[in-house]
């Protein structure tokens, strides 16, 4: 298709997806006087943290250029699934977000994290891409390849509503994670993948944008984390992080259960439900 047709298809796609999202789905009050189906243009622009004029021009098929960061912010605002995200990027003429390099995880590494069931365990790189996780981690944290188009722990933590509800003290966990991400970021300042991720999160997450400016340093010690799982209830963990030898860019995070809290038994119960 030519450029004019591409812009028109993009405009039609945005209008159709905007009409499918109700205000309550994005945390806005339902107004009985509302005359439009779905969200208003200014509401999408506000959720995506972009100019209303800029978004309006996209829906009017104007000849403007947009970045991948902007398109991803719009995709998040419209709550698009993976297939619709791919279509949006294609129609916008933008490259999709970079995918994690899963080939770094060897079969032996996968065998190790699988053997740690029922303790949740996952492997991340310096960009905090989720490269692999065991069955328990998938059940506890909601990791699902089909619903994690970004497959990044930072992105998942700061943009996923279920993750906010899962952690009893989400802010403490998110700030702890951000501090460690910043430490890794400072050592890989020339990594375009890390720079891209930080830029997207600053645009899409108010908390990330605010805390990023504080330049908090990573603390070496771990801390106990309390989760409120929707199926089995309260869970208590002492997470431990290991470097995966010989690859210094990989880390394995294991959530060990706190003794005499019933957490281990609840995890066994969760696995038994499969």
Give Cβ neighbours of residue 91 (< 8 Å, ≥ 6 apart): 6, 9, 10, 13
Residues 137 and 84 in one domain: no
Count up the domains in the chain and report the number: 2
Residue range 235-252, pLDDT digits in tens: 999 999 998 887 778 999
Together in a domain, 192 and 76: no
Q: What is the pLDDT of residue 199?
A: 83
Are both 262 and 135 inside the same structural domain?
yes
Examine the domain organization and report whether 124 and 200 are in the same domain: yes
- pLDDT tops 70 at residue 104: yes
Length of the chain: 274
Domain holding 205: CATH number? 3.30.450.180
Provide mean pLDDT across the span 205-216: 87
User: Minimum mean pLDDT among 145-154, 174-183, 190-199: which range?
Assistant: 145-154
The answer to whether residue 258 is domain-embedded is: yes
Q: What is the pLDDT of residues 63-83, one digit of tens each?
A: 888 888 788 888 888 888 767
Read off the pLDDT of each residue in 210-239 and give the average, rounded to a whole number: 85
């Amino acid at each position: 298709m030519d450029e004019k047709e591409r812009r028109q298809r993009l405009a039609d796609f945005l209008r159709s997806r905007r009409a499918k999202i109700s205000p309550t789905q994005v945390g806005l009050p339902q107004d009985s006087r509302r005359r439009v189906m779905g969200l208003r243009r200014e509401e999408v622009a506000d959720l995506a943290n972009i100019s209303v004029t800029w978004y309006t021009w996209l829906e009017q098929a104007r000849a403007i250029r947009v970045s991948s960061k902007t398109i991803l912010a719009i995709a998040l605002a419209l709550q698009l699934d993976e297939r619709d995200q791919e279509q949006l990027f294609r129609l916008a003429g933008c490259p999709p977000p970079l995918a994690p390099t899963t080939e770094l995880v060897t079969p032996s590494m996968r065998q190790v994290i699988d053997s740690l069931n029922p303790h949740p365990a996952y492997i991340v790189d310096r960009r905090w891409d989720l490269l692999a996780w065991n069955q328990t981690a998938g059940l506890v944290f909601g990791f699902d390849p089909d619903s994690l188009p970004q497959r990044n722990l930072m992105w998942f933590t700061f943009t996923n509503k279920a993750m906010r509800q899962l952690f009893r003290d989400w802010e403490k966990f998110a700030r702890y994670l951000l501090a460690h991400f910043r430490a890794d970021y400072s050592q890989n300042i020339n990594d375009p993948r890390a720079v891209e991720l930080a830029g997207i999160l600053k645009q899409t997450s108010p908390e990330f944008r605010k805390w990023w400016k504080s330049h908090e340093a990573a603390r070496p010690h771990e801390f106990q984390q309390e989760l409120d799982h929707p199926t089995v209830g309260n869970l208590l963990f002492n997470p431990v992080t290991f470097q995966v030898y010989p690859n210094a860019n990989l880390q394995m995070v294991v959530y060990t259960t706190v003794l005499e809290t019933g957490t281990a038994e609840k995890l066994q119960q969760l696995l038994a439900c499969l």
